[in-house]
Chain A
Amino acid sequence: MDIHTLTLAEAGKQLKQKKITSRQLTQAVLQRLKSVEPQIQAFLSIAEKTAFTQADEADRRIAEGGDISPLTGIPIAIKDNICTADAATTCASRILENFHPPYDATVIAKLRRAGVVFIGKTNMDEFAMGSSTENSGYKITRNPWDRERIPGGSSGGSAAAVAADAAIAALGSDTGGSVRAPASYCGVVGLKPTYGRVSRYGLVAYGSSLDQIGPLTKDVKDSAIMLNALAGHDPQDSTSANVPVPDYTSACGKDIKGLRIGIPKEYFAEGIDPEVEQLVKNAIRQMESLGALPIEISLPHTEYAIPCYYICAMAEASSNLARYGGAHYGYRAKNAGNILEMYSKTRAEGFGTEVKRRIMLGTYVLSAGYYDAWYLKAIKARTLIKRDFELAWEKTDIIAAPVVPAPAFKIGEKSADPLTMYLSDIYTISLNLAGMCGISIPCGFSKKGLPVGLQLIANIFKEETLFTAAYAYEQSAGFFNRKPPL
Chain B
Amino acid sequence: MEFEPVIGMEAHAELATKTKVFCGCSTAFGAAPNTQVCPVCLGLPGALPVLNKTAFEYVIRTAIALNCTITEKTVFDRKNYYYPDLPKNYQISQNYACIGYNGWIEINVNGEKKQVGMDNVHLEEDAGKNLHPETGGAESLVDLNRAGIALMEIVSRPDMHSADDALAYMETLKNLLQYLEVSDCKMQEGRLRFEVNISMRRKGEQKLGARAEIKNLNSMRTALKCIEYEIKRQTDILSNGGKLNQETRLWDEASSCTRAMRSKEQAQDYRYFPDPDLVEVHIMPEWQEKIRRQIPELKDAKLARFIAEYGLPEYDADILTSSKPLATYFEQCQKFHNNPKSISNWIMTELLRELKSREMESDDCPVTPRHLACMIKMIDEKTISGKIGKQVFSEMLSTGKMPDVIVTESGMSQILDEKEISAIVEKIISENQDTVESIRAGRDKAMAFLVGQIMRATRGKANPQLVNQILKDKISIK
Report which of B43, B51, B87, B276 forms a contact with A209, defined as CB distance below 8 A: B276
The stretch among B76-84, B98-106, B292-300, B345-353 that forms the contact with chain A is: B76-84
Report which of B49, B82, B273 forms a contact with A325, defined as CB distance below 8 A: B82
Contacts of A82 in B (CB 8 A): 46
Interface membership of chain B positions 49-80, coded 1 if the CB is closer than 8 angstroms to chain A and 0 otherwise? 11100000000000000000000000000101
**In this assembly, does B422 line the interface, its C-beta being within 8 Å of a C-beta of chain A?**
no
User: In the complex, how many residues of chain B place their beta carbon closer than 8 angstroms to a beta carbon of chain A?
Assistant: 28
Report which of A202, A322, A363 forms a contact with B88, defined as CB distance below 8 A: A322
**In this assembly, does A25 line the interface, its C-beta being within 8 Å of a C-beta of chain B?**
no
Contacts of A319 in B (CB 8 A): 78, 80, 90, 271, 273
Report which of A102, A238, A375 forms a contact with B48, defined as CB distance below 8 A: A238
Given known pairs A202-B47, A366-B271, the reply for A238 and B277 (CB within 8 Å) is yes
Is there an interface contact between A204 and B88, defined as CB atoms closer than 8 Å?
A: no
Is there an interface contact between A363 and B271, defined as CB atoms closer than 8 Å?
A: yes
Contacts of A238 in B (CB 8 A): 48-51, 277-279
Given known pairs A239-B279, A363-B271, A375-B273, the reply for A105 and B88 (CB within 8 Å) is no
Task: Choose among B43, B50, B51, B277 the residue with the greatest number of A CB atoms under 10 Å from its CB.
Answer: B277
A101-117 contacts to B (CB < 8 Å): 101-103, 105
Contacts of B42 in A (CB 8 A): 328
Q: Who on chain B is nearest to A379 by CB?
A: B274
Nearest CB in chain A: distance from B272 CB, A: 8
Nearest CB in chain A: distance from B281 CB, A: 10
**In this assembly, does B45 line the interface, its C-beta being within 8 Å of a C-beta of chain A?**
yes
**In this assembly, does A395 line the interface, its C-beta being within 8 Å of a C-beta of chain B?**
no
**In this assembly, does A368 line the interface, its C-beta being within 8 Å of a C-beta of chain B?**
yes
Nearest CB in chain A: distance from B290 CB, A: 22
**In this assembly, does A229 line the interface, its C-beta being within 8 Å of a C-beta of chain B?**
no
**In this assembly, does B457 line the interface, its C-beta being within 8 Å of a C-beta of chain A?**
no
Task: Choose among B47, B84, B142 the residue with the greatest number of A CB atoms under 10 Å from its CB.
Answer: B47
Contacts of B271 in A (CB 8 A): 318-319, 363, 366-368, 371
**In this assembly, does B44 line the interface, its C-beta being within 8 Å of a C-beta of chain A?**
yes
**In this assembly, does B89 line the interface, its C-beta being within 8 Å of a C-beta of chain A?**
yes
Report which of B45, B89, B142, B272 forms a contact with A204, defined as CB distance below 8 A: B45
**In this assembly, does A316 line the interface, its C-beta being within 8 Å of a C-beta of chain B?**
yes
Task: Choose among B42, B45, B51 the residue with the greatest number of A CB atoms under 10 Å from its CB.
Answer: B45
Cα A168 to Cα B87 with chains together (Å): 38
Report which of B39, B50, B277 forms a contact with A208, defined as CB distance below 8 A: B277
Contacts of B44 in A (CB 8 A): 83, 101-103, 329
Given known pairs A319-B80, A366-B273, A371-B273, the reply for A327 and B48 (CB within 8 Å) is no
Is there an interface contact between B87 and A328, defined as CB atoms closer than 8 Å?
A: yes
Cα A363 to Cα B78 with chains together (Å): 13
Is there an interface contact between A237 and B39, defined as CB atoms closer than 8 Å?
A: no
A201-235 contacts to B (CB < 8 Å): 201-205, 207-209, 235
Task: Choose among A205, A237, A327, A343 the residue with the greatest number of B CB atoms under 10 Å from its CB.
Answer: A327
Cα A205 to Cα B90 with chains together (Å): 14
**In this assembly, does A91 line the interface, its C-beta being within 8 Å of a C-beta of chain B?**
yes
Contacts of B43 in A (CB 8 A): 323, 328
Given known pairs A101-B39, A322-B82, A366-B273, the reply for A201 and B90 (CB within 8 Å) is no
Is there an interface contact between B82 and A343, defined as CB atoms closer than 8 Å?
A: yes
**In this assembly, does B381 line the interface, its C-beta being within 8 Å of a C-beta of chain A?**
no
Interface membership of chain B positions 171-213, coded 1 if the CB is closer than 8 angstroms to chain A and 0 otherwise? 0000000000000000000000000000000000000000000
A81-126 contacts to B (CB < 8 Å): 81-83, 89, 91, 96, 99, 101-103, 105
Cα A102 to Cα B47 with chains together (Å): 11
Q: Who on chain B is nearest to A99 by CB?
A: B45
Is there an interface contact between A204 and B46, defined as CB atoms closer than 8 Å?
A: yes
Is there an interface contact between B80 and A239, defined as CB atoms closer than 8 Å?
A: no
Cα A316 to Cα B276 with chains together (Å): 8
**In this assembly, does A423 line the interface, its C-beta being within 8 Å of a C-beta of chain B?**
no
Q: Who on chain A is nearest to B79 by CB?
A: A319
Cα A105 to Cα B39 with chains together (Å): 11
Interface membership of chain A positions 170-208, coded 1 if the CB is closer than 8 angstroms to chain B and 0 otherwise? 000000000000000000000000000000111111011
Contacts of A327 in B (CB 8 A): 84, 87, 142
Is there an interface contact between B276 and A101, defined as CB atoms closer than 8 Å?
A: no
**In this assembly, does A486 line the interface, its C-beta being within 8 Å of a C-beta of chain B?**
no
Cα A339 to Cα B276 with chains together (Å): 28
Q: Who on chain A is nearest to B278 by CB?
A: A238
Nearest CB in chain B: distance from A48 CB, A: 25
Contacts of A96 in B (CB 8 A): 45
A-B complex: 6 closest residue pairs judged by Cβ atoms? A322-B89, A209-B276, A366-B271, A208-B276, A204-B45, A202-B46
| 26 cross-chain CB contacts under 8 A | A83-B46, A89-B45, A89-B46, A91-B45, A96-B45, A99-B45, A101-B39, A101-B46, A202-B46, A205-B277, A236-B48, A238-B48, A238-B49, A238-B278, A315-B273, A318-B80, A319-B78, A319-B271, A323-B89, A327-B142, A328-B43, A328-B87, A366-B271, A366-B272, A366-B273, A371-B273
